[in-house]
Structure 1
Amino acid sequence: MAASSSRGGGDDNEPYLLGLVVTKIVGLHHYSGTISGRANVTLVREPLNPHDDNAIAVHNNRGVKAGHIERGAASALAPLLDSLLIANNIAIVPKAPSSKSGSKPYSLICQVHIFARPAAAETVKKAIKDKGLALVAPNNPEFFFSESAFVQERTQKSDRDVDKLFAHVGKDGDCRIEPMEAPEDVVLSALFQHQKEALGWLVHREESCDLPPFWEEDKDGGYKNVLTTQDTKERPAPLRGGIFADDMGLGKTLTLLSLIARSKAPNVGVKKGNKGAKRRKIDAAEEGSRTTLVVCPPSVFSSWVTQLEEHTKAGSLKVYMYHGERTNDKSVLLKYDIVITTYSILGTEFGQEGSPVNDIEWFRVILDEAHVIKNSAARQTKAVTALNAQRRWVVTGTPIQNSSLDLYPLMAFLKFEPFSIKSYWQSLIQRPLGKGDKAGLSRLQNLLGAISLRRTKDAESGSKSVVALPPKTVVACYIELSTEEREYYDQMEMEGRNKMLEFGDRESILRNYSTVLFFILRLRQLCNDVALCPIDMKSWFPNSSFEDVSKNPELLKKLASLVDDGEDFDCPICLSPPSKTVITSCTHIYCQTCILKILKSSSSRCPICRRSLSKEDLFIAPEVQHADEDGSENLGSDKPLSSKVQALLELLKRSQKEDPSSKSVVFSQFRKMLLLLEGPLKRAGFNILRLDGSMSAKKRSDVIKQFAVVGPDAPTVLLASLKAAGAGVNLTAASTVYLFDPWWNPGVEEQAMDRVHRIGQTRAVKAVRLIVKGSIEERILELQERKKRLISGAFGRKGGAKENKEMRIEELRMMMGL
């Protein structure tokens, strides 16, 4: 493979720029989309095109179809796109079209940038050459025909110039934004000062007619993007929206309700005079509508309803719950001020004809708990990105959960060009971060500074805390295992380490990925209670790397239990919890949509072990039957309690003795652990409630209300699943949090703690992490610290952070203590 300066550091398997192909966009006069200047365009495959099954459509920077790639080039590029051998399908039109009397040209020269993984590079080069196309490599003088800062960055020509552009972003037009009061005729509650400041910022961004970041007006009255060198005679539409990333518990929902209430007022509207903002034809009802679409996880539904009841005048805001049985008439939805729906519903209706949410141009779309869309390949992410909206808001206290790549889908939703194009995000932000380049972190900070607002509850760097909340302390309680538990744990860990050493190289470990995850899961469960693990654990592991699940139904069930037991298990392709879990014959676990997409490619191999796969090798994970809801019988009084359960009981008793009225929340990611805790806690005299993912939304809401009750017979301990109670739930009735087992992702733990430490809390909050000494749990804490450094660095103005990779081979080794 030819070495090229376009290769970046970081992941050796990451697509890199091979070069560019010069071709033409044809048929421009047939389509409504226009390319009015030097511009970036997007290529979209049209395999069902009746005239050419190799057709590749060209969409302009507003997503409107403008033409097609000429047939000869399309015949070479289409098979490569279909087989996923090339990625990041963008092109650049290097010169403004010249046409007589303002008519549209018939064709335009464009440069298609070819990205491929190292392993596919030679195949791609040969396919392009065989079709008679010339691939212009980055070291070819012709390559510099492309003037975009993106390509110059790839050839290491103008890193400093690009960094200067980032340093300047958002600085022009910076002004003091005045705090703003909520409309008194709608919002009954007085806003805190930080909420007034946030409301002022939100309104400013919605009503500003400023040019988007990186755009400048030139001397001739045209506009140019200084980063991509795209130019246009039409004024680019303002970026109306951004990222509202205040810390959890600072009252973002009330601030957003105030924003919605304000735009309901008759004197507030879209500012006129924005001649560049073209809009599609919409009916009169839609034109006058101020409807806001709120998208959130199901667990947050009740939070929005509660906030509306508590903080707004009854009937002042009309709300429609687009959930369950729902209308398909968009005129009905447009009569409401707020329509609330879920990410999963949008994913289900994505591409469906007659879905009203897809047909409406919303006045405003708010993505609550927006970190849900961290996977850009997921259907629900594509669904929210495709929504039509005049204003777009991303709302989350944890915008980064694993890596800076979590931010890319947020840019795509916000339509923040050029970062809504993955190639640009990878080249200008992701790759420099991956190499540990300080410029990468600086760029990310400047970018976020231009479009986001983030304040934290705790005073940082000597600054004053934004809200007067009682203090929160986080402590670790280290626990020694009993002699018997330690023997059992050490034996299991030693067996896991030996297996890892036996697997040896990277490829072998990947082939046995599920086995390694099993060991890690069981080690974590052993730290909690031996009762969580099967008695004969050896029987739970595949004997060989290629044991076929189709010939072993028991193995299929055991693999399904891995997903069920490990609440934080992610699909290795999309790095999100599996939806419609599929287990392959080679014992690897994926989302159904992810693995089917892979099988459509020409390779048709398992992404982990590279074993050949067909649809017949895929098995839907069987449902795991849950034990009796009451865990009292499962852990009888005659059975000795685990060291960690004993430690928790002691801590709870001490807390109750100090203050009999205090309430506690115990979080665990293992539902079975919550069940096992019920018996010992009840026998110790605690009045308990349980909140987990198996409950309906109504049941969860009832449990939260019961927990808030005070009195002599009121519940004092809530046993809660991290996922069921980690977002959009108010647990300020409690003042102590116990994290029974550590989570890979520090953001999820922060969310859990901040269900208790938030506006409305009147007591000092104490969070206790229960950690087993000399175990995998201590290593998980190390992993959390890495991720925290990245998150604080991205929104901070100083500090360095090397890009955190997802749980790959190095982290698997780290978890096993190697």
Structure 2
Amino acid sequence: MASSKRPLNDGLDGAFEYDSYGNRRLPNSPYLGNSTNGSILSFEDRSWDGLWSELLNAEFETCDHEQQLHSNPKTKTATLSHDTEGEIESWAANSLQQHPEPFLFQESNPGETSSSGTKSSFIEKMCYGMIHRILVQVKGDMSEVDAKLKANNQNAAGDYYRFSVGTSDNDNTEVVLRFPDYTEFGRLNLHTSKALGPLIDPGIVLLDAIGTTKALCEAIGRATKLSDARVRIDINVYGSERDAKNVGRHLSSNKVYLQHPDTQRPGTIYNNPHLLKFPDTEILGNNDQIALPPDRFLKFDDAGVLEKTIAGVYASLTRGTKLDKVEGDRRIETKLLPHQQEALDFLIQRENGPIPLEFCLWKPIEGDENWYQHAVTKAKTRTPNEETGDGILADEMGMGKSLSILALIVSSHKVATEWIKTQTSESSEHSQVSQKLSPATLVVVPSAILINEWLNEIKIHLDGTLRTLKYHGKQRKSLTASIENTDIVLTTYHTLVADFGEKLSPLHKINWFRVVLDEAHIIRRQTTTFYRAVSELKARSRWCLSGTPIQNRLEDIGALFAFIQARPFHSIAMFRRFVTIPFNESEERRAVATRNLTLLLESLCLRRSRELLHLPDSNDRLRVVEFSPKEREQYDQTMKTMNRALRQKAGESHSKNIFGMFQIQLQLRILCNHGTYQHAFSWNRRSMLNEREAALCSVGDTGQVNCSACRQSIPMLGSNNVYRQYTGSCTHVLCSECLEDNEQSDIEAIDCPLCAMSGVPLTSYGPRTGVGEGHETYLKHEGYSSKMAALISDIREDLWKKKSIVFSCWTNTLNLIERYLRLESLPFQRIDGECPLGRRQKILNEFSSTSTIPILIMTTGTGAYGLNLTAANRVFIIEPQWNPSVENQAISRAIRMRQNESVLVTRYIVKDTVEQEMRSQQERKLKMAEIGNSTFSQ
């Protein structure tokens, strides 16, 4: 009799291979584990980092999954850290269970009030851990308290006595312990009350206060007066799996850390969000988990604390309010906006002086003007270091930092000429053989497409009198002689590194008047060759441009201080000593570190928010789409069959089925887009392209990958080849720089350049959309998608009055959108990861400058990196993301300086699907963030 449990691979009897042990597995599918009963396929255990690395064919240098959800400064929306893996696991735990009973437990006393004071009969079975030895001030008459402890044995488990925990009836900021009759036993100290209070009243956690009856009675018996009646108890924290990481962050931000519980409620699972878990290691059993002592946790930055601290520092800066408006030179044909005129004042102050005394780091000592003291290090000297020459322009994205720098270049043209004369004269007097001098400004950018953006800015804003050179490409060495006769030289970090590896690097042989790093956060890690290459450049002035100077850690901006040579912080060790280390030592030392960072930023950096631009508010619209009956039937069947493959024995954790959870939610999300155009899932029709693109958007903009050609670490979103897959067994990932160097023409079909160099015969590349499946056969020829129908209807409204950009995570979804647009005869252009840089620039120019192309469709990851899309005033987001940062960056590309019209952002979700659950989880996290913010504001 044939088995009925073949949910994913009907009709694949001949598609199996056997390993050396005789276990059956599907070819080219490393994610399937051994069969457990001869016919059921199971998912192989793995870590999230292992999954991302495998899907992206990437060597991860760093993969910081804590990502900030971009906030709206106009509405003061709370920021929060995002954890894609946690979101997927939470969704799986709450949406894929067929038997919920084992995952809930009955409270000890039916009808007992929970810690929030509300009736609660069930709570999800997760013990986060124990808060160890909390000091409790006992209340009331000690003899009565002693009698209750001894009498209420029914509330004790062995020698352990359990109190309920809640907020005081008289003061909701005070957390108290109660006997079963609801009378108060005692109150917690202020520190712990502050941490637990915001979690209790919303019912986010259930708390058990546990102490031994003998120890409690002995402590009370020793008290000679009421103030001496203090006892130590442990508090166990329980809650849902979906809230575990948020609760963990909230507690650690208040310096409360969870330890291994001595005892816990029967049947509960122990999962401590404060435990250090390492990739590719199995979670230990309950009795083997090792929790670090509380003081050790101070060595690790808490993402929430760092975000809030940095936001507070930025908000406290006053430099921007004490600047004059400086008109641009006549060669600037674009009228500078007020905030850019003030930026020009800052740039000139920092570069040539004088710097106002209140923003100098070296200040004269009162009473002795011959001595100076450093505001941060407190070092004293008679001859302070020169403070002019360098700085950081850190205005938020879209405020026109490049135009401000162009205004500085033009205004200092005469100063640059005088500097050349002075340096030449000094070298002649001392008979020194110095580097070749140049009055030019060297601008270093991340990619060739950003060189084009700068060239476009120069063309638009300047009068054409400044000479500009693009030092990039295979023929760049032939341009060396022309460098001497230019005012602006544009190159990329990759080009700089490539030349740096040679003894005669043309750009390193020159002493520049000015070096400007665009997107300077790229050099935030000093161990990279990017940093070493730029730090070896010689220049009179050094500038960093970055809207995100601090991304994941304080040392990000420490690297920028080191690059601009802000002595003594030209050494990263000094930044660590005065900022990074004290920030993680204690609350008192953190305040000192925050003060030091603020002083450095006030002096060396200008940071303003986009509120200054008074941009028109974006209008957000949510379109809730309903499936047709056939789409719903296919969705439900996919959920049912894939869930069967994931299901394990009752009580086992889902954490072992990382790929299973990822694959199920991926298939359901794609169904929401493609409807009945989507084939029923089977392993021989898996889309590797879909999986890679979903992984890219999950990792987001902080993920790093090493280019297979130049070996440089680059942001995931800077790699065209994250999307691109060559045929055969090629798994090379190439940065856009290396791709451009090897592109012979604007033709889509080329071989992998690395494979071609090695002599491996390959046909032209194409997306490897599935196992044994071609690009054209991924979608059915016939079908229906409710979401696509809604999109086309929305695009048709004001089609020729407003330009539209449509973003989707998946190339295959773009294929379906393209099919719908062609059927409706709607003109459009398309950009995805397979679009060469040359063609991409042509498309952007055509979309921006002509009225014949009203629609641009593009992959979300491509749109989030280095583009200016202000021509559009309608943005359509086809699907929600677990990690919304990439999506928000793409939207921000359209909401920038000189955007005159309000941008309409339309998001689509399908009702009663994983998409609606994703949105609900994000809203829940925002509420959690608001609770945390209210705590920090106290």
TM-score in terms of structure 2 length: 0.51
> Is residue 704 of structure 1 aligned with residue 832 of structure 2?
no
Partner AA of 2:914 in structure 1: S
Q: Distance in 2 between matches of 1:227 and 1:206?
A: 21
Q: What residue in structure 1 maps to residue 389 of structure 2?
A: 240
Q: Percent identity?
A: 25
Q: Report whether the alignment pairs 1:567 with 2:707.
A: no
What code does the residue aligned with 1:305 have? L
Q: How far apart in 2 are the matches of 1:393 and 1:788? A: 39
Of 650, 674, 678 in structure 2, the residue corresponding to residue 529 of structure 1 is 674
One-letter amino acid of the structure 2 residue matched with residue 327 of structure 1: K
1-side partners of 2:504 and 2:460: how far apart?
35
Q: Which runs of 5+ in 2 are unaligned?
A: 1-65, 67-274, 279-294, 301-308, 712-721, 723-730, 736-762
> What amino acid sits opposite 2:836 in the alignment?
S
What is the correspondence of 1:477-516 to structure 2 with a 5 Å cutoff? 477-481=623-627, 482-484=631-633, 486-487=635-636, 490-491=639-640, 494=643, 504=653
Larger RCO: 1 or 2 (CA < 8 Å, sep 6+) = 2
SS at match of 2:489: strand
Cα deviations across residues 557-579 of structure 1 (Å, max 9, x unaligned)? x878744563336599x831453
Cα gap change, 1:590/1:733 in structure 2, threshold over 3 Å: closer, same or farther?
Answer: closer
Give the corresponding residue for 1:201: 346
- Specify whether residues 172 and 452 from structure 1 end up closer, same or farther in structure 2 by C-alpha distance, changes over 3 A only: closer
* Structure 1 position 453 matched with structure 2 position 606: yes
Structure 1 contact 631–675 (Cα < 8 Å) conserved: no
Deviations 1:758-795 (A, max 9, x none): 344343211123344552675478669979999xx9xx
* 3-state DSSP of counterpart to 1:391: strand
CA distance in 1, matches of 2:565, 2:483: 24
Partner of 2:793: 650
Q: Distance in 2 between matches of 1:326 and 1:400?
A: 33
What's the counterpart of residue 396 of structure 1?
546
Aligned match of 1:352: 502
Amino acid at match of 1:640: Y
For residues 359 and 634 of structure 1, what CA distance do their matches in structure 2 show?
A: 53
Residues 81-92 of structure 1: pairs in structure 2 closer than 5 A: none
Q: Conserved in 1, the CA contact under 8 Å of 2:313 and 2:594?
A: no
Secondary structure of 1:339's aligned partner: strand
> CA separation of 1:427/1:289 partners in 2, compared to 1, >3 Å: closer, same or farther?
closer
In the TM superposition, residue 168 of structure 1 has moved relative to its aligned partner by: 14
1-side partners of 2:420 and 2:483: how far apart? 24
Higher Rg of the two aligned structures: 2
Query: Once the two structures are superposed, what CA deviation does each residue of 1:655-677 show, in whole Å capped at 9, x if it has no partner?
Result: 43xxx422200122322322221
Contact 2:435 2:511 in 1 (8 A): no
Q: Is the 8 A contact 1:475 1:768 kept in 2?
A: yes
In 1: Cα distance, 2:435 partner to 2:537 partner: 18
Where does residue 148 of structure 1 map in the other structure?
none
Contact 2:700 2:885 in 1 (8 A): no
Contact 2:396/2:609, CA 8 A, preserved across alignment: yes
User: Aligned ranges for residues 323-334 of structure 1 at < 5 Å?
Assistant: 323-327=473-477, 332-334=482-484
Compared CA separation, residues 448 and 316, structure 1 to 2 (3 A): same
Higher alpha-carbon deviation: 446-455 or 644-653: 446-455
- C-alpha distance in 1 between matches for 2:782 and 2:616: 42
Task: Name the CA distance, whole Å, in 2 between partners of 1:209 and 1:428.
Answer: 27
Aligned equivalent of 1:341: 491
Distance in 2 (CA, whole Å) between partners of 1:315 and 1:467 is 29
Q: What displacement does 1:339 show?
A: 1.2
Equivalent AA in structure 2 for residue 757 of structure 1: I
CA distance in 2 between counterparts of 1:744 and 1:241 reads 40
The number of aligned residues is 570
**Code of the aligned partner of 2:695:** G
Aligned to 2:458: 308
Deviates more, 1:667-676 or 1:393-402: 393-402
**What is the alpha-carbon distance in structure 2 between the residues aligned to residue 348 and residue 267 of structure 1?**
28
Match of 1:682 among 822, 825, 828: 822
The CA deviation at 1:637 is 6.0
Contact 2:372–2:381 at 8 Å: present in 1 too? yes
- Conservation of the 8 A alpha-carbon contact between 1:205 and 1:241: yes
- When residues 287 and 378 of structure 1 are mapped into structure 2, their CA distance, relative to the original with a 3 A threshold, is closer
Task: Give distance in 1, aligned partners of 2:582 and 2:918.
Answer: 27
Q: Decide whether the 8 Å contact of 1:570 with 1:578 is kept in 2.
A: no
CA contact (8 A) 1:299 1:727 kept: no
User: Distance in 1 between the 2:553 and 2:790 partners?
Assistant: 34
Distance in 1 (CA, whole Å) between partners of 2:405 and 2:623 is: 38
CA 1:269–1:179 in structure 2 vs 1: closer, same or farther (change >3 Å)? farther
CA displacement 1:122-145 (0-9 Å, x = unmatched): xxxxxxxxxxxxxxxxx9xxxxxx
Deviation per residue, 1:294-346 (Å, 9 max, x gap): 32322212211111111111242333333332127766424321111122223
Partner of 2:892: 754
| Mapping of residues 210-249 of structure 1, within 5 Å | 215-216=362-363, 225=374, 227-228=376-377, 235-238=384-387, 240-249=389-398
Q: Structure 1 residues 383-392 or 255-264, which shifts more? A: 383-392
Two-structure CA RMSD over aligned residues (Å): 5.4
Q: CA deviation at 1:708?
A: 2.9
8 Å CA contact 2:441, 2:487 repeated in 1:
yes
The one-letter code matched in structure 1 to 2:445 is V
Residue 298 of structure 1, aligned match among 434, 438, 448: 448
Secondary structure of residue in 1 paired with 2:613 = coil
Structure 2 counterpart of 1:178, one-letter code: D
- Does the Cα contact within 8 Å between 1:668 and 1:721 map onto a contact in 2? yes
Equivalent positions of 1:687-766 (< 5 A) are 687-711=827-851, 714-743=852-881, 748-766=886-904
SS at match of 1:724: helix
Aligned counterparts of 1:800 and 1:387: Cα–Cα separation in 2 = 47
Is this contact kept in 1: 2:690–2:810, CA < 8 A?
Answer: no
The residue that corresponds to 2:621 in the other structure is 475
Offset of 1:718 from its aligned partner? 0.4
Q: Which amino acid aligns with 1:688?
A: F
Unaligned residue ranges in structure 1 (runs of 5+): 1-9, 11-116, 121-138, 140-151, 155-162, 459-465, 542-557, 584-588, 594-621, 803-818
